[in-house]
């Protein structure tokens, strides 16, 4: 049975953030709010938890998983970023963007796109997500909470609990997030718009 945490979206209760972080550290899969949609998340190094997320979504790794980071300096630990890319990323983070970048050796190979050795990375603009990331001290391996057969991501925490209470370990109710996914920017060879979502692609000249 999944635990259910009601966390204030603007003033997250640290005690509840700490409890959710401990569930992640102990191998759990958590549903948490972001600035675009609710997301499924687990610890980066936890193979079993990652496989649970893939099973919930019924996807393979050719669908990029995303490393959700607390800030830009943390992101740079997991991706190869040159000075020009860093300036572009700085202008767009935190925000509703996912960046496809070449991964560093800090990222386990099992989490990478199988042919390209790339990873999706992002820094969300949501106080609950950022508080959780700060408490963990490392990124969360994530993907959007879009269940098989659904056309939009789930956004009602009570419906999420009803549908996933026996599948995940915790649901964080952080209020309304919306259903619009992140804008996806591929920066592995120039700058390419892969998906227009909530983030304004004009900041990249796209």
Judging by beta carbons within 10 Å of its beta carbon (0-12, 13-18, 19+), is residue 193 exposed, middle or buried? middle
- State the Cα–Cα distance between residues 28 and 171, nearest whole angstrom: 11
Which two tokens mark 143? 């993907």
The CATH number assigned to the domain holding 158 equals 3.90.870.10
3-state helix, strand, coil in the chain (%, to 5): 30, 25, 45
- For the chain, what is the domain count? 1
- Contact status, residue 159 vs residue 74, Cβ threshold 8 Å: no
Q: What tens-digit pLDDT sequence spans the chain (206 residues)? A: 899 999 999 999 999 999 999 999 999 999 999 999 999 999 998 999 999 999 999 987 666 689 999 999 888 889 999 999 999 999 999 999 999 999 998 888 778 766 778 889 999 999 999 999 999 999 999 999 999 999 999 999 999 999 999 999 999 999 988 889 999 999 998 999 999 999 999 999 88
Q: 121 is in which domain, residue-wise? A: 3-204
């Amino acid at each position: 049975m999944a635990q259910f945490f009601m966390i204030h979206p603007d003033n997250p209760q640290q005690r509840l953030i700490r409890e959710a972080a401990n569930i992640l550290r102990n191998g759990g899969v958590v549903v948490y709010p972001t600035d675009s949609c609710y997301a499924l998340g687990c610890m980066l190094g936890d193979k079993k938890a990652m496989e649970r997320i893939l099973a919930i979504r019924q996807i393979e790794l050719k669908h990029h998983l995303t490393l959700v980071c607390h800030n830009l300096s943390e992101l740079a630990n997991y991706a190869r970023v040159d000075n020009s890319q860093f300036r572009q990323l700085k202008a767009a983070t935190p925000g509703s963007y996912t960046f496809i970048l070449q991964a560093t050796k800090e990222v386990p190979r099992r989490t990478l796109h199988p042919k390209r050795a790339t990873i999706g990375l992002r820094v969300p603009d949501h106080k609950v997500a950022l508080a959780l990331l700060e408490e963990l001290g490392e990124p969360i391996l994530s993907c959007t909470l879009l269940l098989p057969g659904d056309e939009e991501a789930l956004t009602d925490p009570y419906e999420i609990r009803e549908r996933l209470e026996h599948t995940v370990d915790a649901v964080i109710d952080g209020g309304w997030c919306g259903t619009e996914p992140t804008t996806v920017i591929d920066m592995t060879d120039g700058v390419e718009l892969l998906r227009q979502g909530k983030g304004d692609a004009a900041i990249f000249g796209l």
